[in-house]
Amino acid sequence: MLVGMVGNLLTIIALVRCPRVRNVAAAFIISLCVADFLFCVLVLPFEASRFITGSWVHGDILCRVVPLVRYGNVGVSLLCIAMITINRYIMIAHYGIYTKIYRPIWIGCMIIFCWLLSFGMQIPTFIGIWGTYSYDEKLRSCSIIEDEWGRSSKTALFMIGFVIPCLIIVCCYARIFWVVHSSETRMRKHSVANTGKEKREAKAKKNEWRITKMVLAIFLSFLVCYFPITIIKIYDKKVLYPVLHVIAYLLLYMSACINPIIYVIMNHQYRQAYKTILMCKRPRLLSLTPGGSSYGGKCKEDSKTVVSQVSIALTPIRCHELPELPDRHM
């Protein structure tokens, strides 16, 4: 809980304050960090309490609110990861439409959609017409249990909030890997005649591929942390294997603090941003680099760069009054 609170709050501050890491992917990562931070603040203290006391001692109202926040945060996290993956896919495979889609207004709408869908799916359960939030004697936890008609929303939430986003992410990465492989094959065939322009393009591709791999690592860590608890909840409703439930809960709790660790390990820019915040330094304002990760806007000068991993021509991008810097030195 403490590691997750500090790590996610530090990441939010770093992404907001440091132009070097302020890009489209960062907007979704901020949303992801907010969800994880709220999980640490609003969910984990009550989870710790139920393990210590062996029961729920916080009343009926919190017994409905806490699982609502828990399940909602799971949905927000996975949908944000899916949005980042789709962002990577469009930038790499369909760069021609990238700047039309990723404008500030649409990015905001995408983030709002993630939160509204995740919590909106739980309204029927919260008001008790499709399962209900209540205390589960077998799990000694507040969770989704069957209503008086024997209905529960767990399976539907699993399909809509977990399986479908996972399938979208897997399909996007399959396409990304294919595009990158094809691009690298073409580059190797023409490696003898490499010009300065082609070398710059190759460097831009390498930088973009690094952040794509970081997002893949975040997704895989999400699967490791959330998949066990999801499967156990569905297929062991009678709690015949309580040890597996405990292990699954521990993995679930770990998910709230693992993402900042991934950022530190895999991203040089994030490490520099953390140092800037921790050492109370003034963030450096650098010139615009790969435009595909930026929001676009008006500025006095045009900055030419290659963003798509398969773009061959240099694409002019106008910078915004906020000098956001994407994906360089990752």
Rounded Cα distance between 311 and 308, Å, is: 5
**pLDDT single digits (tens) 69-120:** 998 998 898 899 899 889 988 988 888 898 899 999 999 999 999 999 999 9
The confidence score (pLDDT) of residue 45 equals 94
The confidence score (pLDDT) of residue 137 equals 84
**pLDDT single digits (tens) 174-206:** 888 888 777 767 666 665 555 566 666 666 666
Rounded Cα distance between 113 and 47, Å, is: 28
pLDDT-above-90 percentage for the chain:
24
Average pLDDT score over residue span 313-323? 32
The confidence score (pLDDT) of residue 239 equals 84
In whole angstroms, how far apart are CA 170 and each of 20, 118, 164, 166, 292? Answer: 29, 20, 10, 6, 22
Instruction: Please report whether residue 201 resides in a domain.
Output: yes
The confidence score (pLDDT) of residue 300 equals 32
Instruction: Please report whether residue 83 resides in a domain.
Output: yes
Instruction: Answer whether residue 310 shows pLDDT above 90.
Output: no
The confidence score (pLDDT) of residue 202 equals 61
Instruction: Answer whether residue 299 shows pLDDT above 70.
Output: no
Instruction: Answer whether residue 30 shows pLDDT above 80.
Output: yes
By the 8 A CB rule, do 30 and 10 touch? no
Residue 318 pLDDT level (bands cut at 50, 70, 90): very low
Instruction: Please report whether residue 317 resides in a domain.
Output: no
The confidence score (pLDDT) of residue 37 equals 95
pTM tops 0.85, yes or no: no
Phi and psi angles of residue 22, each rounded to the nearest 5 degrees, phi first = -90, 100
CATH number of the domain within which 39 lies: 1.20.1070.10
Instruction: Please report whether residue 300 resides in a domain.
Output: no
The confidence score (pLDDT) of residue 18 equals 83
Instruction: Please report whether residue 315 resides in a domain.
Output: no
Q: What is the mean pLDDT of the chain?
A: 78
pLDDT-above-70 percentage for the chain:
78
Residue ranges making up the domain that contains 101: 2-286
The confidence score (pLDDT) of residue 199 equals 61
Torsion of CA 1, 282, 320, 93, to 10 degrees: -50
Which residue, 184, 174, 193, 169, is CA-closest to 309?
184
Residue 301 pLDDT level (bands cut at 50, 70, 90): very low
Instruction: Answer whether residue 56 shows pLDDT above 80.
Output: yes
Instruction: Please report whether residue 320 resides in a domain.
Output: no
Instruction: Please report whether residue 297 resides in a domain.
Output: no
Q: Name the burial class of residue 147, with classes exposed (0-12), middle (13-18) and buried (19+) by CB atoms within 10 angstroms of its CB.
A: middle
**pLDDT single digits (tens) 113-147:** 999 999 999 999 998 888 889 988 888 888 888 87
Query: How many domains is the chain partitioned into structurally?
Result: 1
Instruction: Please report whether residue 204 resides in a domain.
Output: yes
